[in-house]
């Protein structure tokens, strides 16, 4: 249950980062940002369902760790 909650937290941040990066690219319209956000949200929902229902705990925690590292790296780059 804790792995799922952390994945929701980290995944939500990653969705926002994806949308911000799409917005910052030149020549991108609002629709492109929304589309990138929708795709990232769909991938996040699938990952959350997998962690909550099917994945063994070691794989689930590995996915959470990867998401946490991605959040740390992507937010510290700029």
Q: What is the pTM of this model?
A: 0.88
pLDDT value at residue 40:
96
User: What residue ranges do the domains of the chain occupy?
Assistant: 2-77
Which burial class, exposed, middle or buried, applies to 54 when counting CB atoms under 10 A from its CB (0-12, 13-18, 19+)?
exposed
> How much of the chain is in helix, strand and coil states, percent to nearest 5?
85, 0, 15
pLDDT value at residue 78:
62
pLDDT digits 0-9 by tens, 18-72? 999 888 887 788 899 999 999 999 999 999 999 999 999 999 999 999 999 999 9
């Amino acid at each position: 249950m804790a792995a799922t909650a952390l994945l929701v937290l980290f995944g939500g941040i990653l969705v926002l980062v994806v949308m911000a990066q799409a917005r910052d690219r030149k020549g991108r319209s609002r629709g492109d940002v929304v589309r990138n956000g929708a795709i990232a949200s769909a991938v996040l929902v699938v990952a959350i369902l997998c962690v909550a229902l099917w994945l063994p705990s070691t794989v689930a925690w590995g996915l959470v760790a990867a998401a946490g590292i991605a959040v740390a790296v992507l937010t510290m780059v700029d």
